[in-house]
Amino acid sequence: MTDTQQVEEKVEEVSVTASVGALLQAAREAKKLSQQNVSDHLRYSVKQVDALERDAFDLLPDAMITRGFIRNYARLLEIDAAPLLDIYRQLSPAQSPNLLAVNPSMQPVQLTKDNRPWLTYILGSILVLFFLLAWFVYIEYLPKQSPVADDAVQQTTAPVAEAPADTQESSEVVLSETTLPEPALPAAERQFAEDAVSNQDAGVAPVSNTQPQSSAPVSAPVQAVPAVAPLAPIKPEPQVKPDPQAAAAALKKVSISVTDKTWVRVSDKAGQILYEATLNAGDTQSLSFQSPFSVVIGNAKAATVNVSGQAVDLAGYTRSNVARISLE
């Protein structure tokens, strides 16, 4: 029988007691080693070896040192350390982990710059809330108000919102609200105006079905403009002598219906903005301007444009969903 077999048998005999020290002592005696031999080999004192064999763990250093001691001892005796360590864990009381700080009862030490992220989070949250509020206000309230106190436009859009289909009616409202005098052009003059416009359009080409504004005011076309273009009122020129024919030919009625939120701007040849607004879904806007002027529609897909009652195909003027129409 070899030494190892003897040791194993001895270990099995003692294992009933489930004592680390007894197991080690049995294995040591089987190997015919004295405590002094073990002490010489592992460099633990004889007292420590004796304490371990008596399971007097309180006489030994920390748990991790004792575990290492048991491992080294078991390796010296050529036995498996794992069951011994399991027994040791059961025997020794559960120990709280070693503290890292010297005096944990003192006030927590603030690490460098550690308070700055707090400030960042607070400020960041406030900023985000502010933007959310601003967005909410913009979405909820701003579109309902007219961009500027523009009575004509406001009154135009309001009825249309209620009855979007009735664009004809809305155009009448515009006309009545602009306080323009009803046209009194004779039929012959009106025909002349039509011809003049169609001749001009033939040269320009984009708007093929334009018709002159038959109900165009003669006397104060420029004064009428501020009523529908409040953002950039044009300086009144009361001294200008109206030319009835030219005015009839130049004034054009544009009606824009939208099925989605759309930004619209009308500007004259010099780039002066005559009208600018964001129309909501379902709105219809009818406007009259002295030509030449240009219309820019921000959301061309959602817009339908009528020039003097004739629908304009926006496809020819649209690039990147923005339509730019010049009317002369």
Partner 1 sequence: MFGTISSYFSNDLAIDLGTANTLIYSRGKGIVLDEPSVVAIRLEGGPNGKKILLAVGAEAKGMLGRAPANIQAIRPMKDGVIADFTITEQMLKYFIRRVHDSRWFAPSPRIIICVPVGSTQVERRAIKESAERAGAKQVFLIEEPMAAAIGADMPVSEATGSMVVDIGGGTTEVGVISLGGIVYAKSERVGGDKFDQAIIDYIRRNYGMQISEPTAEAIKKKIGSAFPGSTVLEMEVTGRNLAEGLPRKFTISSNEILEALTEPLNAIVGAVKSALEQTPPELGADIAEKGMVLTGGGALLRDLDRLLIEETGLPVIVAEDPLTCVARGCGRALEEMDRLGSIFAYE
Among 50, 57, 67, 278, binds partner 1 (CB under 8 A): 67
Residue type, 88: Y
DSSP conformational letter for 179: T
Instruction: Decide: is 71 part of the binding site for partner 1 (CB under 8 A).
Output: yes
CA–CA distances in Å: residue 117 to residues 83, 113, 114, 122: 49, 8, 7, 9
Answer yes or no whether residue 44 interacts with partner 1 by CB under 8 A. yes
- Contact residues for 137 (Cβ-Cβ < 8 A; gap 6+): none
Using left for φ > 0, alpha for ψ between -120 and 50, and beta otherwise, residue 311 falls in beta
Cis bond upstream, residue 292 (ω within 30): yes
Are 216 and 246 a contacting pair, CB within 8 Å? no
Cβ nearer to partner 1, comparing 85 with 296: 85
Q: Applying CB under 8 A, which of residues 61, 186, 233, 236 lies at the interface with partner 1? A: 61
The whole-angstrom separation of Cα 274 and Cα 272 is: 6
DSSP state of 19: -
Q: Which of 3, 6, 91, 117 binds partner 1 (CB under 8 A)?
A: 117
Nearer to partner 1, 107 or 145 (CB): 107
Q: By CB under 8 A, is residue 43 in contact with partner 1?
A: yes
Residue 99 within binding range of partner 1, rule CB under 8 A: yes
User: Does residue 108 bind partner 1 (CB under 8 A)?
Assistant: yes
Nearer to partner 1, 101 or 149 (CB): 101
**Shortest CB 258 distance to partner 1, Å:** 36
* Cβ nearer to partner 1, comparing 114 with 162: 114
Residue choice 62, 151, 166, 313 for contact with partner 1 (CB under 8 A): 62
CB-CB contact of 324 with 296 (8 Å):
yes
Question: How far apart are alpha carbons 115 and 85 in whole angstroms?
Answer: 45
Stretch that binds partner 1, among 60-68, 182-190, 201-209, 249-257 (CB under 8 A): 60-68
> 85 or 234: whose CB is closer to partner 1?
85
Backbone angle region of 242, left / alpha / beta, with phi > 0 → left and psi within -120 to 50 → alpha: beta
Instruction: State in angstroms the smallest separation of the CB of 129 from partner 1.
Output: 15
Q: Is 313 left (phi over 0), alpha (psi -120 to 50) or beta?
A: beta
16 touches partner 1 (CB under 8 A): no
Sole residue written with tokens 């609200």: 177
Residue 144 makes contact with partner 1 by CB under 8 A? no
Instruction: In angstroms, give the least distance from the CB of 104 to partner 1.
Output: 7
Evaluate whether 323 touches 297 at the Cβ level (below 8 Å). yes
Q: Does position 42 bind partner 1 by CB under 8 A?
A: yes
Residues near partner 1 (CB under 8 A) = 42-45, 48, 61-65, 67-69, 71-72, 97-102, 104, 108-111, 113-114, 117-118, 121
